[in-house]
Amino acid sequence: MAPNMDESYAAVDLGSNSFHMIVANWTDGRLQIIDRMKEMVRLASGLNDKQELTKESMQRALECLQRFGQRIREIPHLNVRAVGTNTLRQARNGADFLLQAHQALGHPIEIIAGREEARLIYSGVAHTLYDQVNKRLVIDIGGGSTELIIGQGFDTYQTESLYMGCVNMSQRFFDDGKIKAKKMRKAILFAMQELESLETAYKKMGWDYALGSSGTITAIRDVVQAQGWCDSGITLPALTQLLDALVAIGDSALLDFAGLSERRKPVFASGVAILYGVFEALNLKKIDVSEGALREGLLYDLIGRVHDEDIRDKTIMAVAQRYSVDMEQAGRVKETAENFFHQIKTAWELDEKNDLKLLRWGAYLHEIGLSVAHNQYHRHGAYLTANSDLPGFSRQEQMKLAMLVRSHRRKFPVEEFESIAVALKTPVMRLCVLLRLAVVLHRSRSNANLPEILLYVNKNRVNLDFPVSWLDRHPLTLVDLITEQGFLQIADIKLSFH
């Protein structure tokens, strides 16, 4: 389904160095950027020794998000997506910040894993500079991490996210602002060491040309071209000249390159060190620069979600195939769970789009743990779901999906729901109940159709209404439902049936 004319969308990227927001309209099948906002919040520098965000850094971030929120107040809620990256992955008090950030922006903030960040970056580059023929290496140096991706067209072949960015590398090697030759060499060697584990695989895969994205690489390009050291992109000789010039100047505060903003000066040397390390490790001679990055990738991903071209659906099918899921059984459970959902969605205040998708995914994946062992397979499945790289999914989404898999059988793990945000706890528990009931009713794994079963709910009371005498003719199902009554009672859910 194609998006409607003149729909507005917004993507917000809470990076470790800068917060970005782009607003776009979808017009005549094309995305037209109508506004961009960027503020250098430098969130990564706000992490203290305990890996907690300081009050000052959170306040700067919240003030920025309030300004962003004012700009996108009129955009439909489903057409906005905001994500946090490396620093929010690291912050131990991230949950407290996310709650306040939601209020400031007016939209929830999703935390994405490093490889998901890499996939979205590549998507942004691919949509900005489409090339179906050539294989490309994309490099993105952020504030807290560096992503390297090999892809072709819109497909990725290799994705990796390394814990080194211009902010945390600056704190580690240039914390006093001094740029000495010895410090620079240490920073470059550190970057090369981080790249060591992937360089063989990447070189074996190969690429036709390399592209850089993000503010760090754009700033480096602007400086080397303004200095006349190269005409396009960033070449190795130009990068070497820049490196020598930085050491000669010797102090971040004294940098005075045309094209370099005042705010980027404190982290510029560390960004150059990372890029030089990438050039050295991967034997690069030149890279071009793309204006597209994570936020553009977010926008195109969001359009797909809104209009039923959701990469998460493809991911679920790929995971089910990888773990040899019995798709006939998964399909039976899915259909029954969907039927129950539609009967009670209003009474239980469940969302037709997001909650129903989560329930479907849970039905498809509830048995993936059988690939590990039958004993406790719901626990194995939950671990696989929570800890796998699932393209398209945020950490919060994976956690909710893992809870469905974990809770679909046996004792209801009430205590484990404490890890889920309060606002999400009740909807996820209710989806678990629907999935559990569907699983119980299909325990025989039979292809025989179930009769029409009516489901009624009133808060924590759940009633199943079967055709007359059907349970008498299916005594095993009756016993299973009686057992399920006890399991649900632990979660203060009263199940009745007749």
Q: How far apart are CA 278 and CA 149, in angstroms?
A: 12
- Contact by Cβ (8 Å): 444, 451: no
Residues of the chain with confidence (pLDDT) below 50: 1-5
| pLDDT tens column, 263-289 | 999 999 999 999 999 999 999 999 999
CA distance 251 to 254: 5
The torsion region of residue 109 among left (phi > 0), alpha (psi -120 to 50) and beta comes to beta
Pairing status of strand 155-162 against strand 286-289: unpaired
Residues of each domain in the chain carrying CATH 1.10.3210.10: 310-497
Report H helices in 294-421: 294-306, 311-322, 327-344, 354-365, 377-387, 395-406
Q: What is the DSSP letter of 227?
A: T
Residue (of 174, 164, 241, 168) closest to 196 by Cα position: 164
Q: Phi then psi for 192, rounded to 5 degrees?
A: -65, -35
Q: What is the CATH number of domain 310-497?
A: 1.10.3210.10
Closest CA to 137 of 145, 148, 123: 148
Domain at 130-289, CATH from 3.30.420.150, 3.90.1150.10, 3.30.70.270, 3.30.70.3040: 3.30.420.150
* Residue 471, C-beta contacts closer than 8 angstroms, at least 6 positions apart: 477, 478, 481, 497, 498
Strands 461-465 and 209-213: unpaired
Residues 6+ apart with CB under 8 A from 49: none
Note whether 34 and 25 are within 8 A (CB).
yes
pTM value?
Answer: 0.92
The pLDDT, as a whole number, for residue 3 is 45
For the chain, residues classed under CATH 3.30.420.40 are 7-113+296-302
Q: Which residue type, as a one-letter code, is found at position 134?
A: N
Cα–Cα distance, 489 to 484 (Å, whole number):
8
pLDDT at position 419 is 75
State the Cα–Cα distance between residues 285 and 279, nearest whole angstrom. Answer: 7
Residue 237: both structure tokens together? 């000789």
Give residue 6's pLDDT: 61
The pLDDT of residue 422 is 77
Burial state string for 437-461 with b = 16 or more CB within 10 A and e = fewer than 16: bbbbbbeeeeeeebeebebebeeee
Phi, psi of 113 (to 5 degrees): -70, 165
C-alpha 22/C-alpha 68 separation (Å) is 10
pLDDT at position 2 is 46
**For the chain, how far is it from start to end, CA to CA, in angstroms?**
43
Query: What strands lie across the sheet with 109-111, from one edge to the other?
Result: 30-39, 19-27, 7-14, 80-84, 109-111
* Alpha-helical regions (H) of 106-180: 114-128, 166-173
What pLDDT score does 421 carry? 76
Q: Is the separation of the CB atoms in 254 and 118 below 8 Å? A: no
Instruction: Tell me how far apart the alpha carbons of residues 355 and 426 are, in angstroms, rounded to a whole number.
Output: 12
- In angstroms, the CA 445 to CA 32 distance is 50
Compute the radius of gyration of the chain from its Cα atoms. Answer: 26
What stretches of 72-214 show up as alpha helix (H) in DSSP?
86-90, 94-105, 114-128, 166-173, 181-205
Sign of the Cα pseudo-torsion (413, 337, 370, 354, in order): negative
CA pair distance 377, 365, nearest whole angstrom: 11
Q: Looking at the chain, which residues constitute the CATH 3.30.420.150 domain(s)?
A: 130-289
CATH of domain 7-113+296-302: 3.30.420.40
